[in-house]
Each structure stands twice: as C-alpha cells, then as structure tokens.
Amino acid sequence: MKVKDSGMPEEIYWNSLFDVDGIIEWLALPGEAAKIVEIGCGYGTFTVPLAKQSASEIYTFDIEPSMIEVAQRNAQEAGLSNITFELRDVLEQGTGLESDSVDMVLLFNILHFREKRSFLEEAARILKDGGTVAIIHWRKDIATPRGPAINTRPDNAQILSASEDLMLDYGGNSKILEPYHWGIQLVKGVTAINRIRVD
Ligand SMILES: C[S@@+](CC[C@H](N)C(=O)[O-])C[C@H]1O[C@@H](n2cnc3c(N)ncnc32)[C@H](O)[C@@H]1O
C-alpha cells in the first residue's frame, strides 16, 4: 500500500527543497563496508549522493516503478555500482532483508500517517545492534512549499511514541535541517530505553 500523500513533484524542483550535503553530513555515515537501506528512495535524491560519498552497500526500495527507474538511471549516470534497487511495497512485504544485518536505515519524508510504526518496526528488525535509523520530515513550525498536511507530519514525540518497545534509543540527536526539514536519529540497542523528549 502506497503511503498517502507520498507522491513526488518534478525532480529538479524536489531536489531544490533540501540541503542534501548538510543532511548527509548530519547522518555521520557508518564506516567502510557498511550496509545502508533507504525505504522509499524516490528519485534517489539522497541514495545517489550518499553512494558517491561512501563505499557502503546501499539497498533501496520504492513502490513506484517510475521512481525506481529514475533513481537507477541517476545512479548509472553517476557511474555507481554500490546500490541495489528493488521495486517493492515495503508496508505489505517488508524489505526481505535479514534481521540484524544493516548499519543504517533512512526513513526520509515517508513517516506520516499511521504506517509510522510499520516502517519503524521493519527498521528495528533489520538493524544490527548499534545501528541507526535516521528520519527526516517536513517541519511543522513553519510554512513549507511542499509536504503533507501539517497535522499529519510527525514530530519528535510522535516518532518516539511510535518506536516505543522497539529497542531504539534516542540520545538527543534531533536537529532542524534548514530550510524546511528536521531530523531525528535513533540507535538500536538491546538495552535501549526510549526516552520521550521534545526539543
Ligand atoms: C515523498 S517521497 C520521498 C522520497 C525520498 N525518500 C526523498 O526524501 O527524496 C516518498 C517515496 O516513498 C515511496 N513509497 C510510498 N509508499 C511506499 C511503500 N509502501 N513501499 C515502498 N515505497 C513507498 C513513494 O513512491 C515515494 O517515492
């Protein structure tokens, strides 16, 4: 099932709405030979530049054939061979990846509506102990030129509540990602305590 309000505008316009380098810097990518997953890759706005900047193996999924096609073409044009693309409904089928097998999961602009918990459960399942799930979404404190209805955008407290009991620890890494986004990172840990904190 496609997440409601997850359709994309024209590619150049979409890409202009982010400071992609600033967001990748905030991710603090895991080291060499890491495995990174993006659920809902869209045009590859983040997948492609992060594959350029790291030697990680990247697995990326989207429910829309047109998105996979464009993202794959962008990767080919950049000469990249470290990304695996898969057309897949991750809400219905999960990622199909092994449990405890990846270092980082990106949930970018996809965690609105009630499916939040399903994506977070899948991220928690596939992450290794010590792996990170990084989430970005549209800010709700300012008017933004795109994004789902303000009342469906998640905030810190909603992400923490949706990830309760998933062994995902919030260590305070939440940030405004200018101009229009904010992000939060949670780390999987067998002893993780999910502390609700609103910055
Ligand atoms: C708003 S876009 C964000 C794309 C990318 N993460 C970014 O931030 O540039 C959300 C993407 O998730 C995809 N999507 C929606 N529901 C999905 C599902 N159930 N499984 C996999 N992908 C999905 C959409 O097709 C779309 O490409």
Give the domain CATH number at 127.
3.40.50.150
- What angle is formed at CA 91 by the lines to CA 51 and CA 14, rounded to 5 degrees? 45
For ligand 1, the distance from its centroid to the CA atom of residue 14, given in whole angstroms, is 13
pLDDT at position 30: 84
Question: Which pTM was predicted?
Answer: 0.94
**Is residue 1 in some structural domain?**
no
Q: Is residue 77 part of a domain?
A: yes
Ligand 1 pocket (Cβ < 6 Å) reads 1-3, 6, 8, 40-42, 45-46, 61-64, 67, 89-91, 108-110
**What mean pLDDT is reported for the chain?**
92
* 184 part of a folded domain: yes
Ligand 1: centre distance to CA 130 (Å): 25
Classify residue 198: in a domain, yes or no. no
pLDDT band at 31 (very low <50, low <70, confident <90, very high): confident
Residue 193 confidence (pLDDT):
53
3 inside domain:
no
**Domain-located, residue 196:** no
Instruction: Tell how far the Cα of 191 is from the centroid of ligand 1, in angstroms.
Output: 31
Q: Quick one: pLDDT at residue 199?
A: 44
In a domain, 25, yes or no: yes
pLDDT higher than 60, residue 43: yes
Burial class (CB in 10 A: 0-12, 13-18, 19+), 72: middle
Determine, yes or no, domain membership for 197. Answer: no
Domain of 36 in residue numbering reads as 11-188
Tally the domains of the chain: 1
